[in-house]
Amino acid sequence: MALNVVVGITGGIAAYKAVNVVRSLVLVGHDVHVVATDAALRFVGRPTLEAISRNPVHSELYEGVAEVRHVAIGQAADLIVIAPATANTIAKLAAGIADDLLGNTVLASTAPLVIAPAMHTEMWQNPATVANIATLRSRGVSVVGPAVGQLTGRDSGPGRLEEPETIVAAALAVYAEHAARLAASGDLSGRRVVVTAGGTREPLDPVRFLGNRSSGRQGVAIAAAARARGADVTLIAAHLEVSPPEGVTLVEASTARELQQAVTDAAADADILVMAAAVADYRPAVVVDSKIKKESQGDTLELSLVKNPDILAELGAARRAGEYPGLRLVGFAAETEPDPAALLELGRAKIARKGADLLVVNRVGWTEGFATDGNSVVVLDGAGDIVSEAAGSKMSVADRILDAIVALD
C-alpha cells in the first residue's frame, strides 16, 4: 500500500545521500514529499530532489499559507524520515522548536518519526547531543545509525550517515510496527464490516461494456484498514485495479445488479457497510447476444439505458422501515463541483436522499498538486454536519473514515 512519506533533509554534507533515500522510497511505490531546510538546499539542488521525488520540494514556512501547508504536510504524512539529521536539527526536535517548515511538519504530525543522524564524532558524542537523542528516543523517535566510518574530512569514527537502503528498510519497519500496534488496539475487533470497491461494468454485448474509471484503491484501503483494526471484513470487488488485501473475504461482482445481490447477502449480518464502489446508475436496456456490427447500425448507434437500482438508497429506505437494525451505512460521493460550499450542499442533499449515517465527499481539486497519489475528503453525518476532514494517502484517509464510523457509537 502506497504510503505518504515525508523525507526531511537538513544541512549536512550527507544531504547528497538523501537523494537515494528518496529514490528508494519512490521506487517501491511510496508518495514522497521532501521538506528541506534552507541549509540542506545549499548541499543538494531542489531540481534534483523534485525530479527524484516526483513532487514539489517544500522549504518555505510562508509559502502555501492558504492551504495551511505548515501543518498540512505533517498531518497528511504516514511516516516522517529525517536524513541526514544534523546536531542542530536534533536539538531543535528535542526542544520542539518550529522555526522552519520541517519543525512545524514534525510537530503537526502523529506519524512515526525516524531520524538518521550525521555529524562529526565530537558533535555526536557531545553531552548536549547525547541528551537530545535520549529525549527523542524516550518520546518514541527511532534513530537509525549513525554508522562508524570515514567522515567528511580526514577523520573517521561514529557520525557517518547510515547507508540509504538501511535507512529506508529501518523506516519502513518502524511504520509496519506502528501499524501493527494500531491494529492490536483493535477498535473494530469482532465487528463485521462490508466494503464495496471498484467500478461496475454493464455489458452491451459479449465484448463491450459501459464502465467508469474507479480503480478501487480507496475502498481496498478501507478494507485493509478495517482488517488491521480487527474487523471481520468482506470486500465486494467490482473490477479492482489493485490487489485485494490479505485476510478479507473476497466476493466478486461485475454489474450493479450483481453488486446489489452481493451487498444484500452480506448486509444481513453486517455491522457496517461502506459503499465505496462506483455503481453504474444506468445499464443498457438490451444486452445483445452477439457482437454489435457496424453494418447493422449505420452512422449512429443509439443506446437505450434503463435505471439500475440505487443500492445504498434502497438499504437506507429498508433501514428506515425497520430492517437491518444496528447496521451502519456509509456512502461515498465524488463530486466535480469546484465551489466548496456548493460541493457540501450537494453532499448534504445526497446523504438525505440515501438515508446513510455518513457520506464521504471527495474534495476533487481542493488540494491539487499536493497529495497527488492520495485523497482528500470531507465526511458528513446524517444531519449534513462535517464530522471529519482528511487528506493524505488513501490508507490514512481510510483510517480517518473508520475513526468517524467508530465515533458514531
Enumerate binding residues for ligand CTP (CB under 6 A): 256, 275, 277, 279, 281, 308, 310-312, 331-334, 354
DSSP state letter for 25:
H
Evaluate whether 327 touches 357 at the Cβ level (below 8 Å).
no
Quote the least distance from Cβ 228 to ligand CTP, whole Å.
22
Of 52 and 278, the one with the shorter C-beta distance to ligand CTP is 278
> Grid coordinates in use for 364?
476533487
Of 229 and 354, the one with the shorter C-beta distance to ligand CTP is 354
Quote the least distance from Cβ 371 to ligand CTP, whole Å.
21
What are phi and psi for residue 191, nearest 5 degrees?
-85, 145
Angle at which helix 217-228 crosses helix 394-406, to 10 degrees, equals 60
Of 116 and 333, the one with the shorter C-beta distance to ligand CTP is 333
**Is residue 291 part of an annotated ligand binding site?**
yes
Evaluate whether 77 touches 83 at the Cβ level (below 8 Å).
no
Of 52 and 312, the one with the shorter C-beta distance to ligand CTP is 312
Quote the least distance from Cβ 354 to ligand CTP, whole Å.
6
H or E element in which residue 359 lies: strand 358-363
Residue 287: CA count within 13 A, CB half-sphere: 13
Quote the least distance from Cβ 409 to ligand CTP, whole Å.
21
Of 144 and 390, the one with the shorter C-beta distance to ligand CTP is 390
> Grid coordinates in use for 270?
453486517
**Is residue 117 part of an annotated ligand binding site?**
no
3-state secondary structure of 278: strand
DSSP state letter for 377:
E
> Grid coordinates in use for 267?
448486509
Quote the least distance from Cβ 333 to ligand CTP, whole Å.
4
**Is residue 332 part of an annotated ligand binding site?**
yes
Q: Is 308 one of the catalytic residues?
A: no
Quote the least distance from Cβ 287 to ligand CTP, whole Å.
18
In 166-319, DSSP assigns E strands to: 192-198, 202-205, 208-210, 232-238, 249-252, 272-275, 282-284, 305-307
Per-residue exposure over 75-97, b if at least 16 CB sit within 10 Å of its own CB, e if not:
bbbbbbbbbbbbbbbbbbbbeee
Query: Distance (Å, rounded) from C-alpha 196 to C-alpha 113?
Result: 33
**Is residue 358 part of an annotated ligand binding site?**
no
Of 171 and 259, the one with the shorter C-beta distance to ligand CTP is 259
**Is residue 394 part of an annotated ligand binding site?**
no
Query: If you write DSSP's letter for every residue of 151-188 in order, what string do you get?
Result: -SSS-EEEEEPPPHHHHHHHHHHHHHHHHHHHHHH-TT
> Grid coordinates in use for 409?
457509537
Evaluate whether 60 touches 105 at the Cβ level (below 8 Å).
no
**Is residue 43 part of an annotated ligand binding site?**
no
**Is residue 13 part of an annotated ligand binding site?**
no
Scanning 77-163, the segments in alpha helix (DSSP H) are 87-95, 101-107, 121-125, 127-138
> Grid coordinates in use for 402?
473508520
Catalytic residue among 104, 212, 362, 375: 212
**Is residue 289 part of an annotated ligand binding site?**
no
Nearby residues of 27 by Cβ (< 8 Å), 6 or more positions away = none
Quote the least distance from Cβ 51 to ligand CTP, whole Å.
37
Of 15 and 263, the one with the shorter C-beta distance to ligand CTP is 263
**Is residue 350 part of an annotated ligand binding site?**
yes
Annotated binding site for CTP, which residues?
A: 281, 291, 309-312, 332, 350, 354
Active centre residues (catalytic)? 212
Annotated binding site, which residues?
A: 281, 291, 309-312, 332, 350, 354
